[in-house]
Amino acid sequence: MEPVLYVVATPIGNLRDITLRALDVLSAADVVAAEDTRTTAQLLTHFGIGANRLMAVHKHNERGASEKIISALQAGKSVAFVSDAGTPAVSDPGALLVQAVREAGLRVIPIPGANAAVAALSVSGLPDPHFLFYGFLPNKAAARRTALQSLAGHPFTLVFYEAPHRIVGSVADMCTILGGERQIVLAREVTKLFETIHACRLSEAEAWLQADPNRQRGEFVLLVSGSPPQSGLTPDTLNTLSLLLEELPLKQAVQLAAKITGASRNELYQSALHMKNQ
């Protein structure tokens, strides 16, 4: 194999979702860099691939490990990088490694495959052709609400990852800040044994989760429909207004947004009221 870094997507649940190309690369690479060597060893063993070429690359050692991988590539070795599941560097380690390898003048080749966000989008039934992938919201409630407020005016489908111990709080905050009339699709344990895809209004989502403790278990992808059309204001203008509302009283935010964007003050005022009332 060529001395390049192969960024390899692996299954997010069902092991048969691995690609033939991924198996070829994992079998032939001189080094397999993994977020968790124990998890990847199980994957390799399942497919009859030797697990004696593993090295750890995770968020705590990514910078230092990048230097070792660059040295291996410069010595003519090939390196396959995998995260625990799914596509590396998408809400997972890998971005710093890829950046370092590219800056060293070396090649990086993607080996595409499973991705929880795209899989959930494909069965969401949400018709908007555009989406904004956010990943994980902040852990702390106040920071989470601030992040949601900054997204409230976006007209695109919003895509989040969420952990089971935060799922109820996150959905409750989404309802409060984004508005209960929006549609949400809760995709739980995608491709796994207890896969669940449930669509409802945001105002109904918390009750659905609370109705059965099993519904709060596992890994979640949350897809929320975008902000309904509010005016002739552009998404950039609405985003500017949303950011100003976080720091200023409504009247001042509207005045400053009008100066910055040149948009109608009346339209900005109505949009600001809508954002505040969500």
Indicate which CATH number applies to the domain containing 82: 3.40.1010.10
> Is residue 144 domain-shared with residue 213, that is, in the same domain?
yes
- Break the chain down into helix, strand, coil percent, rounded to 5: 45, 20, 35
> Is residue 69 domain-shared with residue 148, that is, in the same domain?
no
> Is residue 200 domain-shared with residue 250, that is, in the same domain?
no
Output the pLDDT for position 231: 60
Q: In the chain, what is the greatest distance between 2 CA atoms, to the nearest angstrom?
A: 66
> Is residue 134 domain-shared with residue 216, that is, in the same domain?
yes
> Is residue 191 domain-shared with residue 243, that is, in the same domain?
no
Do residues 153 and 237 touch, judged by C-beta distance below 8 A? Answer: no
> Is residue 180 domain-shared with residue 242, that is, in the same domain?
no
> Is residue 109 domain-shared with residue 122, that is, in the same domain?
no
Domain with 217, as residue range(s), is 117-224
Q: Tell which residue, 245, 215, 249, has the closest CA to residue 145.
A: 245
Residue 229 is assigned to a structural domain of this protein: no
Residue type, position 183, single letter: Q
Tokens linked to 187: 């995709």
Q: Domains in the chain: how many in total?
A: 3
> Is residue 23 domain-shared with residue 74, that is, in the same domain?
yes
Residues of the chain with pLDDT under 70: 229-231, 277-278
Domain boundary among 114, 138, 172: 114
Tokens linked to 45: 């063993």
Q: Which residues pair with 196 in a beta bridge?
A: 188
> Is residue 110 domain-shared with residue 127, that is, in the same domain?
no
Tokens linked to 146: 């601030």
pTM, full prediction = 0.80
Domain boundary among 114, 140, 168: 114
Output the pLDDT for position 277: 64
For the stretch 74-99, pLDDT in tens is 999 999 999 999 999 999 999 999 99
Do residues 23 and 17 touch, judged by C-beta distance below 8 A? Answer: no
Output the pLDDT for position 278: 58
Domain boundary among 84, 114, 144: 114
